[in-house]
Amino acid sequence: MKIATIISFILVIIGALNWLLVGTLSFDLVAFLFGSMSVLTRVIYALVGVASLWVIFFCFMYKPFRRVA
């Protein structure tokens, strides 16, 4: 489960950086590398979406940011 969480965090960071490029420069790196809405592009977007759901689940279920007193 630890490996899945690490991979999910990496994918979420990659997705966030891609959205930073889209928002600031109007440049979609994933579409540039793999083609506009090709099968591979859609798979990458889906993986980033599933990873984000995993990170949300992880944060709510395991509360990694809570204080230990």
Q: Is residue 22 part of a domain?
A: yes
Cα–Cα distance between 59 and 22 in angstroms, integer? Answer: 26
Task: List average pLDDT for each run of 10 residues in the chain, which is 69 residues long.
Answer: 90 96 96 93 95 90 71
Q: Yes or no: say if 48 and 16 are a contact pair by the CB < 8 Å rule.
A: no
Q: Locate 32 and state its tokens.
A: 């540039």
Cα–Cα distance between 69 and 48 in angstroms, integer? Answer: 34
Residues in CB range of 59: below 8 A, 6 or more apart:
65
pTM of the shown model: 0.81
Q: Is residue 18 part of a domain?
A: yes
Cα–Cα distance between 42 and 61 in angstroms, integer? Answer: 28
Q: Is residue 47 part of a domain?
A: yes
The domain total for the chain is 1
Domain hosting 35: range is: 2-62
Model pLDDT, residue 21? 96
Q: Locate 59 and state its tokens.
A: 């944060």
